A = this chain, B = another copy of it.
């Protein structure tokens, strides 16, 4: 099991979009060029983010995407769930029901103990993602990425909005 590469793209795109000045937009083309990924496929990820209400798009020249909310209101989980979906990573097929010793009277009012553990682990994963916001990421980047690169990148983005 491995997460889709769309996650990495979407997370980095949201990070880039936080450079976009208010009332302006950055196009899919620019985002695809910046990350060197296929534009048409990246478009699908951005559409998912749009449907999730994380970014908003507008048409026409000078159109594109921008964040729909403040970076402090967008968590990693929001973005990952827009790409991967909200369903648990563990799918219980109720294999326990195949136990040949079971009779019809054995009802399953409680979920399987195995599934409960797996779902708990899934929740722990999501909780970690929920605990990190886009604003936290920006702060970390400021501390770890060379200032000149950050500056140039910001200019590059603003230049195309």
Using a CB–CB cutoff of 8 Å, the interface residues on chain A facing chain B are: 1-5, 7-9, 11-12, 15, 33-37, 76, 84, 87, 89-93, 95-96, 98-102, 106, 110, 113-118, 120-122, 124-129, 132, 137, 140-141, 144, 146, 149, 152-153, 156
Contact = CB atoms under 8 A, between A and B. Distances in A.
A93 B106 CA distance: 49
Contact of A114 (B1, B11, B102, B115): B11
Contacts of A121: 76, 125-126, 128-129
B128 A90 contact: no
Contacts of A89: 1-3, 89
Q: How many copies does the complex hold?
A: 2
A76 B93 CA distance: 18
B36 A98 contact: yes
Given A113-B137, A121-B129, A122-B125, 12 more contacts: A1-B2, A1-B84, A8-B91, A8-B92, A34-B98, A99-B153, A101-B149, A106-B146, A110-B144, A117-B137, A121-B126, A121-B128
A128 B7 CA distance: 23
Given A37-B95, A95-B35, A127-B124, A106 B3 contact: no
Nearest to A129: B121
Residue from A15, A92, A96, A101 whose CB has the most chain B CB atoms within 10 Å: A101
Given A117-B132, A144-B110, A5 B91 contact: yes
B95 A8 contact: yes
Contacts of A15: 114
